[in-house]
Structure 1
């Protein structure tokens, strides 16, 4: 799957961007942390789209710096309305609470547990520990780490391949672009791609270019 991040500041614009993105992608990621004045009704609207609802905390590289209880309540609204996915951090103390809430409400939402490192890619053994911890909590493990070498790229793809179908593995930065192109073939559930030059993380490949590369590889 190809996922395009929606990074607008205004909810109405974000919904319009999502509709446009879904003409060329399989799913969108609503970066709710980047939106201004978002409320539960807005989350309900977003949950109707094939999407990942992400409210990334500032301590994990996101833009959300408000009350964490409100953030958790917004996630619960997404779950109640069976959003396709939510993405919550491995370091979030209430991630298990969200999983329990999902189970108790019989929601269809899949919960992605994620880890981000904007400085480096941990070695293979450390990445393995991170992924195993994530899968002990949620449905899907996700990591996005800064790739600085071919060894980093190989470690990322090796981990992705070992957890095929249960993982989203990404190498950020220029060196990591190969993981964005090849990750799905190695077993990643999806890859994040930019549209019209708008990206949410370093190294995202433009969706048109990505599709052309995939065609050439086939």
Structure 2
């Protein structure tokens, strides 16, 4: 299996140390740009703009204006734009139609390097968004989040595999552990999927119990870990400075 890499500006996913993404979660343009200044100074590998926190997210014009300002503020830092639906741990409950309109607006805005697309919506609509993104040279990180439990390893691998089949550049799966065994299940599934899929993948076991999965990606096959500068956007995220040291300490030598 030839392992592909995915390049977002100067950041290459799927090669070497897992790359660190830091979320921006501001509700207003001013808060978003202030966070961007702090995040850029901390030097992550990429930024995830969580637009479900942004109060203007349903106004395409306002979204594009703020996204364009954010793009300018980040300079050469790679940008992933994510609307996380309420059912998968996000801030705002929307209909599927409204969700896909926001995805379309992000792609048309011309400011993002990658977009997060949730796998478990209408399959025709998901595939259409992937096509639109790729037509604009926007990479797709396709995701699924289970905040209640950890599915069996075969199910995790199947979900990641289906994302690859739907055209995802990077399949992503996050699960909630209820036991140490659940964390081992996620790590086992990560290794299996990374060994069988050509695409880089992102996985994590959430909360305190799953923190080990956020630093062990190079060993098990997860290409990105999400750290924090200020506010966290998911349970179990580790501060950027600690995460950088942890990933360096666990680096595999050639």
Scaled by the length of structure 1, what TM-score is found?
0.88
Distance 1:203 1:68 in 2: 28
Name which structure has the greater RCO, CA cutoff 8 Å, separation 6+. 2
Matched, 1:193 2:221: no
What is residue 10 of structure 1 aligned with on the other side?
A: 28
Deviation, structure 1 residue 82: 5.8
Q: 41-50 or 146-155, which moves further after superposition?
A: 41-50
- Indicate whether 1:92 and 2:126 are aligned: no
Structure 1: tracts of 5 or more residues without a match: none
> How big is the shift at 1:47?
5.0
Match of 2:88 in 1: 60
Partner of residue 153, structure 1: 183
Partners of 1:158 and 1:23 in 2: how far apart? 35
Shift of the alpha carbon at 1:70?
4.0
State how far apart, in whole Å, the 1-side matches of 2:152 and 2:64 are: 40
**8 Å contact 1:30–1:51 — kept in the other structure?**
yes
CA offset digits 1:7-66 (Å, max 9, x no partner): 111122112212321232111111100111233322344455421111111122211224
- Contact kept, 8 Å, 1:4 with 1:194, in 2: the verdict is yes
Quote the residue 1:51 is aligned against. Answer: 79
- Give CA-to-partner distance per residue, 1:60-80, whole Å, 9 cap, x none: 221122454343233223323
Are the equivalent residues in 2 in contact too, given 1:148–1:176 (CA < 8 A)? no
Q: In the aligned structure 1, how far is the partner of 2:218 from the partner of 2:229?
A: 18
Cα distance in 2, alignment partners of residues 190 and 19 from structure 1: 22
Match of 1:144 in 2: 174
User: Counterpart of 1:26?
Assistant: 45
Q: Is the 8 A contact 1:43 1:77 kept in 2?
A: no
Query: Cα RMSD between the aligned structures?
Result: 2.1
Matched residue count = 215
CA distance in 2, matches of 1:85, 1:129: 23
Structure 2 unaligned spans of 5+: 1-18, 58-62
* 1:103-145 Cα shifts (integer Å, max 9, x gaps): 4xx3221111111111111111111111111111122111110
* Residues 1:119 and 2:148 aligned together: yes
Distance 2:223 2:250 in 1: 18
Aligned-pair distance for 1:205? 0.9
Matched, 1:42 2:70: no
1:190 Cα offset (Å): 0.8
Task: Tell me the CA shift for residue 192 of structure 1.
Answer: 0.4
Say which SS state the counterpart of residue 22 (structure 1) adopts: helix
Give the match's secondary structure for 1:121: coil
**More moved, 117-126 vs 156-165:** 156-165
Rounded to whole Å, the distance in 1 between the matches of 2:180 and 2:23 is 26
